[in-house]
Structure 1
């Protein structure tokens, strides 16, 4: 997933001041382009963003308070928080439908809380619901989270049991039932992932330097028939408090509905994301509302993302976007494509099997190859390449690729005037990603991670704040 994180520290070309070319400046020993970045208190941030204790943020959406990020624009900034899809900053979800915090859960210094609530209406008992948290510790070592909220370094010695299917060794001690604990304290975790499953656990096998998780495209995988969901997150420890960045995702599949709600310590940040409707309602609505090609994504366990099944290369609908791509290619062989995004203004045209772009105010040239249907749906290949050995050039090419990928999925690739207008998405007479459209339409906020670049123009389910207090997860059925 290509998470374009507002707060992530922005890397630059690792050269000392003496080595910086004339067209670059230095910030804390790193070289940067003043057209792309600003140096704020020794931290590199994209233009129009600021630094708060090393974390970059938009002053139109956040402000820095006591060394931590707080949701809401800076004082004196008259621009309201970004709200591109027309939904309120705090969606008008009835209070009773929002995940509710349990005030009896104790707090721990330097950690936030993950609270998990069984809202399946009796379909699944607490002892039939399992959870696992994996991530990397401060030494970048693969670890798991124990019930005490501590990261324990993982290795192959933890593989102490055998899966009931597939005869694979797995780590049983990292698995927790909801009946064991309905909350856990969360420290700083790099590249975290939480798996939640019904009926049986997600089986994890640790190997040298990594782990084998569920692979629902592998018919021999022991998790193939397990109902599970996951969400991704990173937490940072800043001045003794936790800054949280995370999101629900439909990039791979839908298995069952759930909601998450993130709140900070002083109540100034309170946002939620998740699915609307029961599992049966979502499955039935999907089969009723999408066209025949997308109906093939449904099985008894999941609604799969298109490229995970019948839209992959060599499969029935592996050429689904090809005609649209060719139409786009022909159009911009004869005229220029002009678009704007947060990274600047761009103009490009087709030359053979690639597009050539120039950025306003920049005399360099950027290239993007002609994509395939799979590149569009997965954000891979031509849309995850970057053709240059220069990190700065590659970064800009990846920005262009993300914009193009999002436009194709939303059915507006040949209409760049609509790229920044969510009200126009998924409404054209051309093909588009009906899977992604569906999960936007069945979200409590209208946002979803229906494909990897759904964060383009702020349409993803990303939640993030400083001084994070609690993430509440309501599991539904």
Structure 2
């Protein structure tokens, strides 16, 4: 949500679901029988934990309600602003948790998954409109099919030394975003991770400011995106060239990992990942329903 969901304007993001060991139809399941909303649209929450948790142990919390999907799988969604919908596995307050962010109007939804603060659970969203348009974001089916330990280990294996601890300090519950790691903040072991690079560009910003798009970067989304992707040294006209992203250090390799494991390579890996249209944001008019896959 971050910057984009503050803008209540219609847009369309059409993304094809990535290939995976199971068919898309099997993964998303039947859509017949989804109740017609008396408000804006209907959410259907799907248990995609590969048998790790029964429906009675998959919980959602939204708009003042908490239920397992065994109790209530469908949610009639009202007009709501800057909202979050939380998911927990095991108990309604379990540390195995994550959330999506959304806004709605009477005839529009803006919604996204987010890895801005960290990874907690595998999540994917599919929005379907009354006119038949669909858009999908989130982790790929291949990621959902992978065991949790394997996902954490794959992250560690893919990271340079400075980033490996992000999957270790709060394991098995979370993989931290670098902006939330004390190691990248003032006084931390990697506080100067970006220093040489930003100094070479004439910028006086901290590593924490780069990862968090904070300080002077809070008002410069394009520059913050370019620094995270290591393209700020290029002419500004090339800052949106995806083929040049994350090709050298220093870079936000945490964000790169989630892009590499996301439907359409779209992910919210840092606060201004919407710069160059790279975030996992869906905005559609006249929504009918949204499927929400919750994984382990």
- TM-score normalised over the length of structure 2: 0.89
Q: Which residue of 1 aligns with 2:97?
A: 228
In the alignment, the residues of structure 2 paired with residue 446 and residue 243 of structure 1 have an alpha-carbon distance, to the nearest angstrom, of 24
Is residue 101–residue 472 contact of structure 1 (8 Å, CA) maintained in 2?
A: no
Give the match for residue 126 of structure 2: 261
The alpha carbon displacement at 1:316 in A equals 1.5
Structure 2 residues without counterparts, runs of 5 or longer: none
Is 2:210 the partner of 1:376? yes
Q: 2:149 corresponds to which residue? A: 280
2:113 to 248, 258, 275: 248
Distance in 2 between residues matched to 1:377 and 1:251, nearest whole Å: 9
State the partner residue of 1:317: 190
* Residue 4 of structure 1, CA deviation: 2.8
CA–CA separation in structure 1 for the residues paired with 2:77 and 2:120? 25
1:453–1:287 distance in 2 versus 1, CA, 3 Å: same
Cα offset for 1:186? 0.3
Residue 166 of structure 2: SS of its match in structure 1? Answer: coil
Match in the other structure for 1:85: none
**Is 1:406–2:225 an aligned residue pair?**
yes
Per the TM alignment, residue 464 of structure 1 is displaced from its structure 2 partner at its CA by: 1.1
Are 2:124 and 2:139, in contact at CA under 8 Å, matched by a contact in 1? yes
Q: What RMSD over aligned residues (CA atoms) do the two structures have, in Å? A: 2.0
Following superposition, the deviation at residue 128 of structure 1 comes to: 1.2
Structure 1 CA distance for aligned equivalents of residues 37 and 291 of structure 2: 16
Matched ranges for 1:98-109 at <5 A: 98-109=27-38
| 1:294 is aligned to 2:163 | yes
CA distance in 2 between partners of 1:125 and 1:191 (Å)? 30
Following the alignment from structure 1 to structure 2, what is the Cα–Cα distance between the partners of residues 403 and 290? Answer: 25
**How far 1:92 moved relative to its partner?**
5.0
Pairwise CA distance, 1:110: 3.1
Counterpart CA distance in 2 for 1:290 and 1:455 is 23
Q: Is the 8 A contact 2:49 2:294 kept in 1?
A: yes
Contact 1:100–1:472 (8 Å) recurs in 2: no
Structure 1 pair 258–2 and aligned structure 2 pair: CA distance change class (3 A): closer
Aligned to 1:195: 86
Equivalent residue runs for 1:331-346 within 5 Å: none
- Which stretch has the larger CA shift, 243-252 or 371-380? 371-380
The C-alpha deviation readout for 1:378-437, integer Å capped at 9, x for no partner, is: 0111112xxxxxxxxxxxxx2xx1111000000111113420111110013x31000000
Distance 1:89 1:180, change over 3 A: closer
Q: 2:284 & 2:233 partners in 1: Cα distance?
A: 36
Instruction: State the distance in 2 between where 1:320 and 1:92 align.
Output: 33
Select the structure with the greater relative contact order (CA < 8 A; seq sep ≥ 6). 2
**What's the offset of the Cα at 1:312?**
2.2
User: Which whole-Å deviations, capped at 9, do the CAs of 1:348-378 have from their partners, x for residues lacking one?
Assistant: xxxxx7xxxxxxxxxxxxxxxx321111100
Higher relative strand content: 1
Task: Give me the whole-angstrom Cα distance separating, in 1, the residues matched to 2:56 and 2:39.
Answer: 30
Name the larger-Rg structure.
1
More helix by share: 2
**Are the counterparts in 1 of residues 40 and 105 from structure 2 also a CA contact under 8 Å?**
no
Select the residue among 113, 116, 119 that pairs with 2:48: 119
String of CA shifts for 1:336-357, please: whole Å, max 9, x gaps.
xxxxxxxxxxxxxxxxx7xxxx
Q: 2:62: which partner in 1? A: 133
Aligned length, in residue pairs: 283
Structure 1 unaligned segments of length 5 or more: list them. 10-55, 63-70, 72-81, 83-87, 135-143, 145-173, 203-222, 330-352, 354-369, 385-397
C-alpha change, 1:377 and 1:108, in structure 2 (3 Å) is same
| Equivalent in the alignment of 1:447 | 266
Residue number in structure 1 paired with 2:3: 3
Corresponding position: 1:463 with 2:282: yes
Give the match's secondary structure for 1:297. Answer: helix
Instruction: Write the distance in 1 (CA, Å) between the matches of 2:275 and 2:156.
Output: 27
